[in-house]
Amino acid sequence: MKRVFPILAVPTAALLGYALYEALVAAPTEQTMGNVQRIFYYHVPSAWTAFILFFVNFFASIAYLIWRNTKADIVALVTAEVGVVFCSVVLVTGPIWARPVWGIWWTWDLRLTLTLVLWLIYVSYLVLRKFSSSGQTPLLAAVLAVFGALDVPLVYFSIWFFRTQHPQPVIGGGGSIDPRMLHVLLINWLAFSCFAALVCWSRYRLEILRREFDETMALEALLEPRTSHTNSSRSAG
């Protein structure tokens, strides 16, 4: 793991650096919004990455519910955690863009509200996993994740089917985008996806290590009284 991580981290960092250059320098300046539009190159890829992570969480949770597979449970935990991080980026960069463009930080618009609800659902998922000591926690979390994932398509399609203050989709849905801007957007998405995959992989390894250690500790605790009993029997004999 120690060797693989830098091998993957170096090209990912290079790609993120290149994507940053493309977003700040190479991308054309939007005519009406000016430079503040460049927030879009971080906001939209972060949202897409969060959606993908929540979908992986959904399928891993389904897999856990069907097969009770520990690895599926770990994948669900990891993707929820990293998904919350990316969703937090969306919820922070959105208002920073909205303030100069709309004149307000936040409005209880359908898209914005559903995104906030999505974030709250997955934060509650993580809180449940962290503080519940029941053996049924993975099962309860998987059920919560399955219902929580229903909010993802609602968030995504809310701007397709309802009139909202949020800008219309740039790909499909009647929206249009300059090909150079689309190029920069896709590069940033690729960079953030690679970054998310790397972070998920590191978190997955950490969780595997944590569980193996906890199992060893539990085994040791189980064996301890037996060992002392055997020793006392021997000394008594």
Partner 1 sequence: MSYLYAAYIATWVIHFGYLGSLLRRYRRLKNEIEDFKVRIEEKR
Residues that bind partner 1 in the complex, under the rule CB under 8 A: 20, 24, 35-36, 38-39, 42-43, 46, 82, 85, 88-89, 92-93, 96-97, 99-100, 195, 199, 202-203, 206, 209-210, 213, 216-217, 220
Provide the minimum distance between the beta carbon of 68 and partner 1 in the complex, in angstroms, as a whole number: 25
Residues 38 and 183: their CA atoms lie apart, in Å, by 13
> Helices marked H in the chain — which ranges?
4-21, 40-67, 70-102, 110-131, 137-148, 151-161, 179-236
Residues 33 and 106: their CA atoms lie apart, in Å, by 18
Nearer to partner 1, 65 or 83 (CB): 83
Nearer to partner 1, 178 or 220 (CB): 220
- Please list, residue by residue across 68-86, b when 16 or more beta carbons sit within 10 angstroms of its beta carbon and e when fewer do: eeeebbbbbbbbbbbbbeb
* Residue 160 near residue 170 (C-beta atoms within 8 A): no
Provide the minimum distance between the beta carbon of 147 and partner 1 in the complex, in angstroms, as a whole number: 25
Nearer to partner 1, 65 or 78 (CB): 78
* Residue 45 near residue 188 (C-beta atoms within 8 A): yes
Provide the minimum distance between the beta carbon of 165 and partner 1 in the complex, in angstroms, as a whole number: 18
Residues 160 and 149: their CA atoms lie apart, in Å, by 18
Nearer to partner 1, 65 or 90 (CB): 90
Nearer to partner 1, 28 or 100 (CB): 100
* Residue 90 near residue 43 (C-beta atoms within 8 A): yes
Provide the minimum distance between the beta carbon of 67 and partner 1 in the complex, in angstroms, as a whole number: 27
**Angle, CA of 13, 19 and 23, to the nearest 5°:** 145
Provide the minimum distance between the beta carbon of 174 and partner 1 in the complex, in angstroms, as a whole number: 26
Nearer to partner 1, 99 or 180 (CB): 99
Provide the minimum distance between the beta carbon of 205 and partner 1 in the complex, in angstroms, as a whole number: 9
